[in-house]
Structure 1
Amino acid sequence: MCGVAGLFDIKGSRAYHAAVIRRMTAAIAHRGPDGEGIHLQPGLALGHRRLAVIDVRGGAQPMRTRDGALTVVFNGEIYNFRSLRGELEERGFCFETRSDTEVLLHGWRAWREHLFSKLQGQFALALWDDREQTLVLARDHFGKKPLHYQVRADGTLAFASEIKALLTIPDADRTLDREAVEDYFAYGYVPDPKTIYRSIRKLPAAHYLLARRDRPLDIRRYWSLLEKAPEPGRTSPEFVAERLGEAVRRRLVSDVPLGALLSGGLDSSAVVALMASGNESRVDTFSIGFGEREFDETSYACAVAERYRTRHRVRRVSADDISLVRRLPEIYDEPFGDISAIPTFTVCAEARQSVTVALSGDGGDEALAGYRRYAFHWMGDRARAYMAPALRGRLFGPLADLYPQGAWLPRVLRAKSTLRELSLDSASAYVRMSYALPEEVRSGLLNSDFRQALGGYDAGDVVRGPFNVDAPLDPLQRAQYADLMTYLPGDILTKVDRASMANSLELRSPMLDPEFVAMSFFLPPGAKLSRMHGGKMILKRAMKPYLPHDLLYRRKQGFTAPLARWLRGPLRSELLQLARSPGLRECGMIDTATIARMAAEHLGGLRDHSKGLWLAWVFDAFLAQSAQIA
């Protein structure tokens, strides 16, 4: 995997200094420790940092066609590059390397923008077409690889794999985007296409951008999951196992050591099982273990490793180890509140000691309805169908108001959220399920001046928009589609990209193969959800010959850390100081009195405010990091 950066003069052909583009690539050197390169010409500068995986000797970038008309910098891997190369050779194109990168150059010349929908892989690229005087930026189908861009006041289009590279440019605009701040406290991450900075944007997944001089940027979608027609009758567990096996095999192409992350959950275990079943050599697998049983899945991971005789390494850490907490702003460049970023970073660090590439199980929950909220939403939607909307609101709304907060109640009695969601329409109910912090909590945490400045902006529209997409989808598919468009690229894939690339490790996700996702997405609800056994039912049936029964049907655990305990333990002193933080006071957005109250209640054991306090802590750490690099 690699890092890309560049500058393009939209207004003219100024000369960019090599030192500027080298500073940009130096900021993302962790993405590519094996080499660097730049290309300069009037009005254009392209930079690249390389993590050599395929054609280690011949794949250096920037890469150009022999006639110099096309130049590309590329972050990613194209798994079907050999078949595409065969098609291009039949059309008369000559190749000079064994690299997948060269396919992009000849593919653009042959197919133009139709190239991107042909690619199977993960990619973020910048391609300069000298004849057309056009810069093309493109990002893969689900947004596995990041690409940020900014149009500067001087007419420069700047782009990079990570925001930190853009902030190295002199006079970088660091004005915060208030809507993005609201989104962050709503969801725990900043959803695409926004970033925390008003002037910087993310190119959305499955889109490409055309930049030409003296013309507006042209951003277009090249692929949609909803345009993929389902295969009739293909709903058997055996077919699912076959398709997933094909996706795994496509991701085994590598000229460097390759392994797999094995959490002990269903998705990573399925990937390892299929990987090992078709592999003559032993597979390297990696897990993180916690001393506390409620956070530890290593017994399941070890059972899979033993069954398939993998070379398994477990890194055991204390659940009170917060050594990585303060590095989060440096790694993510904007506030990122998913606490599982910490164990993800740790397992990536362990894997990188032995391999350069690792497969993971990311995407299985979104593709096959694995999150518990999907089952709750499906059942709630069926209940809503039996009652008129006005009656639901009059009945369940007041009940939700009266019902006590449930953090201190037995799980079976925590009905306040369920009652609230039943009072809402289907889209609004799912929006509420998607929130990290509900609106009533955010309204106290973010001060009145900030809320007034938002001018009525509703963060719920981030999820509501894709949920209400104009397509014949059932309620479960609408929830899945909303997550595939928002939570997956904004949280899950951001988390694994930054955590892996901070360790110079390439991760590959077979369950996000576009063909596998399309097949899974269009399965009927009954193939995915079971009242007794939760989500991903067809995958559980498909994996029966491969995995132990207790692993397949155990309660979903998740890959997380003891947040509430951290805030009452090793982060206690910092939590007590949070309300007095200069950053939070001076940013003009946070109600510090609310922070002080929440901290006192949490530390006193009266309420569990861990999520809201954590998001505030991360935001404060981000502000401090930003002040240091400004």
Structure 2
Amino acid sequence: MSLEPAMAAMVTALSHRGPDADGQLRQRNCLLGHTRLQIIDPVGGVQPMEEPTDRLAITFNGEIYNHRDIARELRSEGVSLRTTSDTEALLLAYRQWGEDCLQKLNGQFAFAIWDQAEQSLFAARDRMGEKPLFYALAANGQLIIASEIKAIVASGLIQPEVDPDAIAAYLHLNYVPADRTIYSNVHVLPAAHQLRWRDGQLTVSRYWDFELSTVSMDEQEAVQEVQRLIAQAVERQMVADTEVGAFLSGGLDSSTIVGLMTPHSERRIKTFAVGFGDLINELPYARDVAQTYQTEHHELQMSIDVAEMLQVMAQVYDQPFGDSSNIPTYLISQFARRHCKVVLSGDGGDELFGGYSWYRHLMLRQGVGDSLGQQVLYKAMAELSMSGNKRTWRARATAVKANRKGLDLWQDHLQRLGAGTGIDPLLNRPGSSGLSWAANHRPVDDVRGIDRAVDFDLRCYLPGDIFTKVDRAAMAHGLETRAPLMDVDLVQFVLRLPRSLRFQTTQSLKPLLRQSCQHLWPSSIVGRDKQGFGAPIRSWLQQPAVSQQFAAVCSSTSALSTYLPGLQSQRESLSRHPQLCWNLLCLGLWLERIASAATIKKVAA
């Protein structure tokens, strides 16, 4: 059976990720393909790439930021390099050190290397899950791997089967968890994992892990080291043979990145900010940062055709995806790509430095007791206080209530995330809460306190939501995003610091980042907390075109009703849960799109 047509279809399906060039390489029992976005060594970095003996060949997505250091080390051991590309440095590093080369890599990557002599394939994904990698087994035992699920489906070598458990997890979280896909027969290689295929046997194993709160350190020493590591990360990630710009929201993370980029560029940095009408408008803050650093600032005020964009998102993401900020992320990426191929972003800063509002509740839980008297007192204070303090006292009462229930901070965290209640009746699965997916993400007992929530956010939310959102939205336009705050040296250092340095109940969120980097920020943003691209889901759902879409996907004859037996009986109560409605709409549109291509396992009522 010829596999060339299957490979050609896969390459075409990924042409948006690499619009500059594409190629295929045929070897005995292996066919490699690649679509290229030319960033480093446009001439020498052509892929798929073979090493001089033709034993090894690679297809690689991403960037190895320390490839020059790796090249120097290889030369010191007598290895000759023909190019300046990070692809060759990675390929020869594997030839020289085998799978141990992964410990030397600083970058975002997903790659596969075929060993012609051993007739084996080795693949790996970066530590934090910035770059995606999926795989599946065909009926005849063939291994299929790709950067996006659409390429695996395009091969025609599998019949994708929708996984009921994955859809239940999606409805709870707003995204498919990072350790699975929406299909039972298409798999994700998790972050910091490697894969080996030989003689029809597949093994997957973890090659790296982070540590939480394992070292003690003086606050001033920690601040100085964070300053050094962030500056080093930004300098590393500006390496490219094309211009590097930056997303600039005017938040703490992106402002830090832009402030540190300026000394390393001979030209004015191009920065990009977009206002989205009825969304939160951060343009004034971004403008302040741009003026401070004299960037070449590009901003755009944009209205959104929500109904049209929902259809586009169903195609871009390959899976149901309920984080509504994917729409503005897609549009700002489209805007930036008109000016450059690479942008730095502040992604990962909230997970690393504790920037999400949901951490406030968990910090409160660690600062209050669990007595009924406390709970009653805080409730009374909420009733008696002026409006400005009501929220504070109510939050304390809620924290005491959670302590009285004895909720594990990880369990409490999960209950407060995502779409909330109203999901189980839709599933109509007797004896099941639809939470079977959650057990895979429970932290080990050695992880304590608020770190139990951080552990989940780093392992599931960051790769499953944030990096999925950004990678697909940006690469849909052939735009590479880089996240300096996910530099491995910085990540390892910060996460090992005591919780007391990363979270301080008496201060604003991100205390360590504020102490380390506020000298880089204009005064207008020093006191800011996270805003982000939070979309007005409730008002979007009320738009006539979107309302019509929702009615269509929830009809009794829809694919969504086929999957969710309890949908019709719950229709009237759905309006109380706008995020759940949004998740259902995204799921329904996605199911309609793939209905002819995938097998949908109907769950018995």
TM over 0.5: yes
Q: Is the aligned partner of 1:35 residue 2:21?
A: yes
Aligned residue in 1 for 2:329: 344
Tell me, in whole angstroms, the C-alpha distance in 2 between the residues paired with 1:413 and 1:590.
41
Aligned residue in 2 for 1:512: 486
1:126-525 residue pairs with structure 2 within 5 A? 126-170=112-156, 172-215=158-201, 217-226=202-211, 230=215, 232-233=217-218, 235-292=221-278, 295-318=280-303, 321-383=306-368, 386=370, 418=399, 421-422=402-403, 423-433=405-415, 435-438=417-420, 440-446=421-427, 448=428, 450=429, 458-463=436-441, 465=442, 468-471=443-446, 473-525=447-499
Distance 1:142 1:96, change over 3 A: same
Distance 1:590 1:367, change over 3 A: farther
- Consecutive unaligned residues of structure 2, counting only runs of 5 or more, are 384-389, 599-605
Q: Is the aligned partner of 1:26 residue 2:8?
A: no
Residues 231 and 519, structure 1, Cα contact 8 Å, conserved in 2: no
Cα deviation for residue 226 of structure 1 reads 2.0
Distance 1:272 1:595, change over 3 A: farther
1:529-579 Cα shifts (integer Å, max 9, x gaps): 344543211211222221123312123212222111101224223334443
SS at match of 1:220: strand
Residues 343 and 481, structure 2, Cα contact 8 Å, conserved in 1: yes
Q: Out of 519, 522, 529, which is 1:545 matched to?
A: 519
Tell me, in whole angstroms, the C-alpha distance in 1 between the residues paired with 2:212 and 2:55.
33
Distance 1:581 1:29, change over 3 A: farther
Moved more, 411-420 or 533-542: 411-420
Tell me, in whole angstroms, the C-alpha distance in 1 between the residues paired with 2:528 and 2:496.
25
Cα deviation for residue 593 of structure 1 reads 2.5
Aligned residue in 1 for 2:53: 67
Tell me, in whole angstroms, the C-alpha distance in 2 between the residues paired with 1:230 and 1:131.
45
Distance 1:41 1:334, change over 3 A: same
Aligned residue in 1 for 2:386: none
- Bigger RCO of structures 1 and 2 (CA < 8 A, at least 6 apart): 2
Tell me, in whole angstroms, the C-alpha distance in 2 between the residues paired with 1:228 and 1:81.
30
Distance 1:231 1:445, change over 3 A: same
Distance 1:380 1:155, change over 3 A: same
SS at match of 2:423: helix
Tell me, in whole angstroms, the C-alpha distance in 2 between the residues paired with 1:227 and 1:533.
21
Cα deviation for residue 271 of structure 1 reads 0.6
Moved more, 422-431 or 161-170: 422-431
Tell me, in whole angstroms, the C-alpha distance in 1 between the residues paired with 2:560 and 2:177.
25
Aligned residue in 1 for 2:542: 568
Q: Out of 58, 64, 69, which is 1:78 matched to?
A: 64
SS at match of 2:474: helix
The one-letter code of the counterpart of 1:347 is I
Tell me, in whole angstroms, the C-alpha distance in 2 between the residues paired with 1:618 and 1:375.
30
Distance 1:125 1:558, change over 3 A: same
SS at match of 1:295: coil
Aligned residue in 1 for 2:567: 592
Cα deviation for residue 461 of structure 1 reads 1.9
Residues 258 and 356, structure 1, Cα contact 8 Å, conserved in 2: yes
Q: Out of 86, 107, 124, which is 2:93 matched to?
A: 107
Aligned residue in 1 for 2:30: 44
Q: Is the aligned partner of 1:558 residue 2:532?
A: yes
Aligned residue in 1 for 2:84: 98
Cα deviation for residue 27 of structure 1 reads 0.4
The one-letter code of the counterpart of 1:368 is F
Q: Is the aligned partner of 1:610 residue 2:588?
A: no
1:581-603 Cα shifts (integer Å, max 9, x gaps): 6334553324222552135xx3x
Residues 276 and 328, structure 2, Cα contact 8 Å, conserved in 1: no
1:12-55 Cα shifts (integer Å, max 9, x gaps): xxx64211111111101100011111111232111100001000
Residues 462 and 486, structure 1, Cα contact 8 Å, conserved in 2: no
Residues 369 and 529, structure 1, Cα contact 8 Å, conserved in 2: yes
Residues 16 and 45, structure 1, Cα contact 8 Å, conserved in 2: no
Moved more, 270-279 or 120-129: 270-279
The one-letter code of the counterpart of 2:579 is K
SS at match of 1:256: coil
Residues 288 and 524, structure 2, Cα contact 8 Å, conserved in 1: no
1:68-93 Cα shifts (integer Å, max 9, x gaps): 11000000100000010011111111
SS at match of 1:237: helix
SS at match of 1:150: strand
TM-score by length of 1: 0.87
Aligned residue in 1 for 2:603: none
Cα deviation for residue 132 of structure 1 reads 2.1
1:263-294 Cα shifts (integer Å, max 9, x gaps): 111111111111114433200000111334x6
Distance 1:33 1:308, change over 3 A: same
Aligned residue in 1 for 2:592: 624
**What is the aligned-residue identity percentage?**
36
SS at match of 1:191: coil
1:56-111 Cα shifts (integer Å, max 9, x gaps): 01110110011111000000100000010011111111111111001122111211
Moved more, 419-428 or 203-212: 419-428
Tell me, in whole angstroms, the C-alpha distance in 2 between the residues paired with 1:592 and 1:227.
41
SS at match of 1:136: strand
SS at match of 1:312: strand
The number of aligned residues is 583
Tell me, in whole angstroms, the C-alpha distance in 1 between the residues paired with 2:159 and 2:3.
20
Residues 114 and 121, structure 2, Cα contact 8 Å, conserved in 1: yes
Cα deviation for residue 419 of structure 1 reads 6.6
Distance 1:456 1:430, change over 3 A: closer
The one-letter code of the counterpart of 1:461 is A
Residues 263 and 559, structure 1, Cα contact 8 Å, conserved in 2: no
Cα deviation for residue 313 of structure 1 reads 0.8
TM-score by length of 2: 0.90
Tell me, in whole angstroms, the C-alpha distance in 1 between the residues paired with 2:515 and 2:52.
52
Residues 213 and 497, structure 2, Cα contact 8 Å, conserved in 1: no
Tell me, in whole angstroms, the C-alpha distance in 1 between the residues paired with 2:578 and 2:394.
17
Tell me, in whole angstroms, the C-alpha distance in 1 between the residues paired with 2:365 and 2:213.
28
